[in-house]
Amino acid sequence: MNRIARAFSSFALCLGLLHAGLGIAHAAGPGKLIIGYPPGQSVDIIGRLLADRLSQTTERKWIVESMPGQSGSIALAAVARMPADGSVMTLSASAALAGNPFLYTNVRYDPIKDFEPIGLMYDAPLLLLVNAALPVKSLPELLAYLRAHPGQLSYSSPGNGSVSHLAMSELLRRSGTSMTHVPYQGASKSLADLAGGQVQVSFDAIAAAQPFLASGKIRAIAISSKERVAVLPDIPTVSESGIEGFDMVPWVGLLAPAGTPRDAVDKLSVELGKIVQSEDFSRRVVSLGGRPRTAPAAEFRSFLRSEVTRWSGVIKTSGAKLE
């Protein structure tokens, strides 16, 4: 080998080692992260951040593909039929996995059989909200008001069969009270009418409620998780307010098509855990009203099974059904 050839070979070797050390060489082709929710929603925001982090720490460049529709079910149906070779993942919420198969008559996937769970990422407790003019400042006071004024109050939700609707249905069932349900198309209109007094009560996500709370037009009186949340430490849980054991919290996890190789799932699960526990990622989740949560593949699989059983029961009891 002449001097020029040896120099070129050494340069190429050094460059390759440099790229490998920096983690910027993508040995595999690009992967797809399918997200079944519109751009700008919290799942989409977190998904894009996740794709960026995974592109830095794995052998693939991960590209986000938006596929909104039917509250996340369109994306899940598509992913269930995509190649199970480690090149496809989806970020999905509990409503699409544990709720929609029992709400819609035309869902084309099985939440257990059609996916390989990779890991849990975060959850997002709901706030129990009232119009500021309503003379109640706690859940016990709200329940007492409902019993004293039967048929007079209504509650809003972002849609029939939404987690907000189901959480309220369960609260009313367990407390033996009732209100009229007024479903909307999305949280913005639901909360705007709550602030305006057209409806008096609602359950909704922390991030969606924050601007209305800041205006003073609505009041938070309880939170749907078993534990209080760090961003609103003074808001008691529904459970400690008298409905013992109440825990109605939507969550988000990462999945791949069923049959994805176990080594690929395990590697992605490890990387996901590191990302979720990182300071900047956790801070972003919290800013959107969520709580970072980690559960590796096997644990997430067990959790998913239990959640499918639990939410199917809640839906059956509520009588909610969608076409």
Distance CA 88, CA 107 (A): 20
Q: Is the dihedral of CA 68, 187, 156, 177 positive or negative?
A: positive
The CATH number of 6-123+250-318, from 3.50.50.60, 3.40.50.1970, 3.40.190.150, 3.40.630.30, is 3.40.190.150
Residue 288 near residue 42, CB atoms below 8 Å: yes
Chain position carrying tokens 């991960």: 62
Residue 126 near residue 163, CB atoms below 8 Å: yes
What integer pLDDT is reported at residue 186 of this predicted model? Answer: 86
Distance CA 219, CA 182 (A): 19
Residue 300 near residue 123, CB atoms below 8 Å: no
Distance CA 115, CA 254 (A): 10
Which architecture does CATH list for 126-223? 3-Layer(aba) Sandwich (3.40)
Distance CA 319, CA 40 (A): 31
Residue 213 near residue 128, CB atoms below 8 Å: no
Beta bridge partners of 253: 92, 120
Question: Hey, do 6-123+250-318 and 126-223 end up sharing a CATH topology, with the first three levels equal?
Answer: yes
For strands 180-183 and 154-157, give the pairing: parallel
Distance CA 119, CA 265 (A): 9
When computed from its CA atoms, the radius of gyration of the chain, rounded to whole angstroms, is 23
Indicate the domain borders of the chain. 6-123+250-318, 126-223
**pLDDT < 50 regions, the chain:** 1, 3-26
| Calculated CA dihedral for residues 308, 309, 313, 319, nearest 10 degrees | 30
End-to-end CA distance of the chain: 72
Residues of the chain above pLDDT 70, percent: 92
What integer pLDDT is reported at residue 21 of this predicted model? Answer: 42
pTM of the model: 0.87
- For 41-84, the pLDDT digits (tens) are 899 999 999 999 999 999 899 999 999 999 899 999 999 999 99
Distance CA 255, CA 80 (A): 10
What integer pLDDT is reported at residue 27 of this predicted model? Answer: 52
Residues of the chain above pLDDT 90, percent: 82
Chain position carrying tokens 């257990």: 112
Q: What are phi and psi of 289, to 5 degrees?
A: 85, 15
Chain position carrying tokens 């007024």: 182
